[in-house]
Chains A and B, each alone.
Chain A
Amino acid sequence: MWVNGVTLQNRGLEDSHRLAVYEASGGYRTLREVLLRPVAPEQIITEMKKSGLRGRGGAGFPTGLKWSFMPKGVTGTKYLLCNADEGEPGTCKDRDIMRYDPHRLIEGMLIGAYAMGARAGYIYIRGEFVEPIQLVEAALAEAYQAGLLGNHILGTGFSFDLYVHRGAGAYICGEETALMESIEGKKGQPRFKPPFPASYGLYGQPTTINNVETFASVPDIISKGGDWFLRLGKPNNGGTKIFSVTGHVQRPGNYEVPMGTPFKDLLAMAGGLFPERKLKAVIPGGTSTPMVAGEVMMDTTMDYDAISKAGSALGAGSVIVIDDSVCMVKTVERIARFYMHESCGQCTPCREGMGWLWRVMHRIEHGQGREEDLQLLLDVGARIEGRTICALADGGVAPVVSSIRLFRSEYEYHIQHKRCLVTMGAG
């Protein structure tokens, strides 16, 4: 099996974040080939389409197709942005790519910028990530010094400037248009779409945005070919993907495995469950994706299609494992708090609804639940879904509604007995 072979391939090398180490492992060879041969921009987009790579930030939009939307022959600057805001609970992969292999991200962005004709770019890194910020800034400085960024890169006609823009604490800035607002120095409030970023993005200019892992996959796709990457996974689910396995497993970690890997193999890689525990549920793609029952998950493979068949979504590949030692109501209350806290407040259904969901969850958890509360949660959820500017609100509804469907009796027990069915053990 092709494990940790693409975006995490250099993680084990000493000083893997340094330019010299990256170049010694073949780094920037693809960029040189592309610029010096040169390879036509359309050819790169064709390979990206062939690869089946889908955006690793959560929405899973085909990357090659997205790149082809960038208009040609416009006046003014086109921008390329990298989304490194990584903030959805359970998601912790981009941090490792930036810490261990920042040059792979930079090379991926350079190839993308060349293919789309972008002249400048920003890597938007969440403000708390001080160590990754320092490492990426240092890598950018190395790349500038080596003539890999700036004017006339490698002596060619291609020029591209790239900077870090540091966030300041707001999950919503991971939403692509909020991120653009934030780079413009404003509150991170999502914009209405359309217009889409390819026509009206940063500073109103054509803009493409991708996730860290998406960009870090690009150099190998271009050097080894789109077909190679596609075949690592399965049709419509090309390549390998990092799964961040957290929660109740013995070896939490980032595991990069082929799309289509059985969940039970991934669980085994992460050290399996703790002794004497049973798998209760899994949140397969980060807290915005619906929860899946443990036994269903054990028969599912890790790819977009299979997980969507299991009633959830692959999201950012943030696999949160929940065993039978924990109370589901308390767990979901904690998740609901996140969405209440992070709503940007623009849309009434989200601003009010996220608070509602949390307050009702909170009172059930604290033994003050009422008979009608479960229906209330479902009704509030139904009134939010699809009625907001961005997907944060739907993401906040998903864990509540899915957990009521799967663990209704646990909720009912809480309401009737004013206490929990599960005595919380150690985690």
Chain B
Amino acid sequence: MLSEQALAEIARERAKYPEDRAQSALLAALRIAQEDQGFLTTEVMDYIALLLGIEPIRAYEVATFYSMYDLQPVGRHKICVCGSVSCFLRDSDRIIAHLEDQLGIKVGETTPDGLFTLQEVECLGACLGAPMMQVGDRYYEDLTKDRVNGILAALREGGDDVG
């Protein structure tokens, strides 16, 4: 169900924890499965539970508790823009409105071409770079409308990790 590479990565995570504590690798295993599959289906979660030898309910509980797991398909680029107070004070609302405008979608939606999902999230721990957003693995700080335009253009041109 998962790629060889994903399975190897899960095995590496599993080795961090004591012999009798397989469940400790659950957070990592779900993340790796999600990176491999795009989002978490019930089948994938059941598979992870089987792999770690735990009850499937444990996997569902964790997958629904933590905000980074996607239980529904998302766009190729998930844009998480911070709206918490330090960013708010630096006009994040204007950046969020601009993103909605440029993408033609509202917060919580995915563009029809499946390229972008836009989410407003709480503090990402980079408040001195406010306003800021995360796309994929990367943080983009000190955002302006121009900078947002540049980032979106580069992502549209096929980049995955653009400066």
Q: Which A residues are closer than 8 A to B by beta carbons?
A: 77, 86-92, 94-95, 122, 126-131, 163, 165-171, 182-188, 203, 244-248, 252-254, 283, 287, 318, 320-322, 326, 331, 334-335, 337-338, 341-342, 426-427
B21 within 8 Å of A (CB atoms): yes
User: CA separation between A328 and B26, bound complex, in Å?
Assistant: 42
Beta-carbon nearest neighbor of B124 in chain A? A128
Contact in complex: A163, B16 (CB < 8 Å): yes
Contact in complex: A341, B125 (CB < 8 Å): no
Contact in complex: B139, A184 (CB < 8 Å): no
Contact in complex: B27, A426 (CB < 8 Å): no
User: CA separation between A315 and B16, bound complex, in Å?
Assistant: 32
Contact in complex: A187, B61 (CB < 8 Å): yes
23 A-B pairs with C-beta separation under 8 A: A89-B84, A91-B125, A92-B126, A92-B129, A127-B66, A128-B125, A131-B137, A165-B16, A165-B27, A168-B30, A168-B68, A169-B66, A170-B65, A186-B62, A246-B128, A247-B89, A318-B127, A320-B89, A334-B88, A335-B85, A338-B85, A338-B123, A427-B89
A129: chain B residues at CB < 8 Å are 125
Contact in complex: A248, B89 (CB < 8 Å): yes
The residue from B28, B61, B68, B85 contacting A169, defined by CB atoms under 8 A apart: B68
The residue from B27, B67, B85 contacting A320, defined by CB atoms under 8 A apart: B85
Q: Which of A77, A185, A252, A427 has the most CB of B within 10 A?
A: A185
A131: chain B residues at CB < 8 Å are 137-139
Contact in complex: A170, B66 (CB < 8 Å): yes
CB proximity to A under 8 Å, residues B57-87: 58, 61-62, 65-69, 80, 83-86
User: CA separation between A28 and B22, bound complex, in Å?
Assistant: 33
Contact in complex: A166, B85 (CB < 8 Å): no
Contact in complex: A187, B65 (CB < 8 Å): yes
The list of the 3 closest CB pairs from A to B, nearest first, reads A185-B23, A169-B67, A168-B66
B122: chain A residues at CB < 8 Å are 87, 89, 171, 337-338, 341-342
Distance in Å: Cβ of A425 to nearest Cβ of chain B: 9
A246 with B24: in contact, given A89-B123, A127-B68, A338-B84 (CB under 8 Å)?
Answer: no
Contact in complex: B123, A88 (CB < 8 Å): yes
Contact in complex: A334, B128 (CB < 8 Å): no
Contact in complex: A185, B25 (CB < 8 Å): yes
B36 within 8 Å of A (CB atoms): no
User: CA separation between A203 and B128, bound complex, in Å?
Assistant: 36
Q: Inter-chain contact count A-B, CB under 8 Å? A: 145
B86: chain A residues at CB < 8 Å are 89-90, 246-247, 252, 320
Beta-carbon nearest neighbor of A92 in chain B? B127
The residue from A90, A170, A253, A321 contacting B67, defined by CB atoms under 8 A apart: A170
Beta-carbon nearest neighbor of B65 in chain A? A187
Number of interface residues of B (CB under 8 A): 43
B129: chain A residues at CB < 8 Å are 92, 252
B58: chain A residues at CB < 8 Å are 185-186
Q: Which of B27, B86, B88, B124 has the most CB of A within 10 A?
A: B86
B31: chain A residues at CB < 8 Å are 127, 166, 168
Distance in Å: Cβ of B37 to nearest Cβ of chain A: 16
The residue from A167, A244, A426 contacting B127, defined by CB atoms under 8 A apart: A244
The residue from A183, A184, A188, A338 contacting B65, defined by CB atoms under 8 A apart: A188
User: CA separation between A186 and B139, bound complex, in Å?
Assistant: 27
B158 within 8 Å of A (CB atoms): no
Contact in complex: B128, A322 (CB < 8 Å): no
Contact in complex: B89, A326 (CB < 8 Å): yes
B46 within 8 Å of A (CB atoms): no
Beta-carbon nearest neighbor of A126 in chain B? B125
Having A126-B125, A167-B27, A338-B84, one finds 12 other A-B pairs with CB under 8 Å, namely: A89-B122, A92-B125, A128-B68, A129-B125, A168-B62, A182-B27, A185-B62, A187-B62, A244-B127, A252-B129, A287-B85, A331-B89
Contact in complex: B23, A334 (CB < 8 Å): no
B134 within 8 Å of A (CB atoms): yes
B98: chain A residues at CB < 8 Å are none
B91 within 8 Å of A (CB atoms): yes
Beta-carbon nearest neighbor of B80 in chain A? A128
A95: chain B residues at CB < 8 Å are 125-126
Beta-carbon nearest neighbor of B23 in chain A? A185
Beta-carbon nearest neighbor of A252 in chain B? B128
B61: chain A residues at CB < 8 Å are 186-187
Distance in Å: Cβ of B27 to nearest Cβ of chain A: 5
B106 within 8 Å of A (CB atoms): no
B138: chain A residues at CB < 8 Å are 130-131
A184 with B89: in contact, given A89-B127, A92-B128 (CB under 8 Å)?
Answer: no
Distance in Å: Cβ of A348 to nearest Cβ of chain B: 18
Q: Which of B62, B80, B124, B130 has the most CB of A within 10 A?
A: B124
User: CA separation between A268 and B29, bound complex, in Å?
Assistant: 47
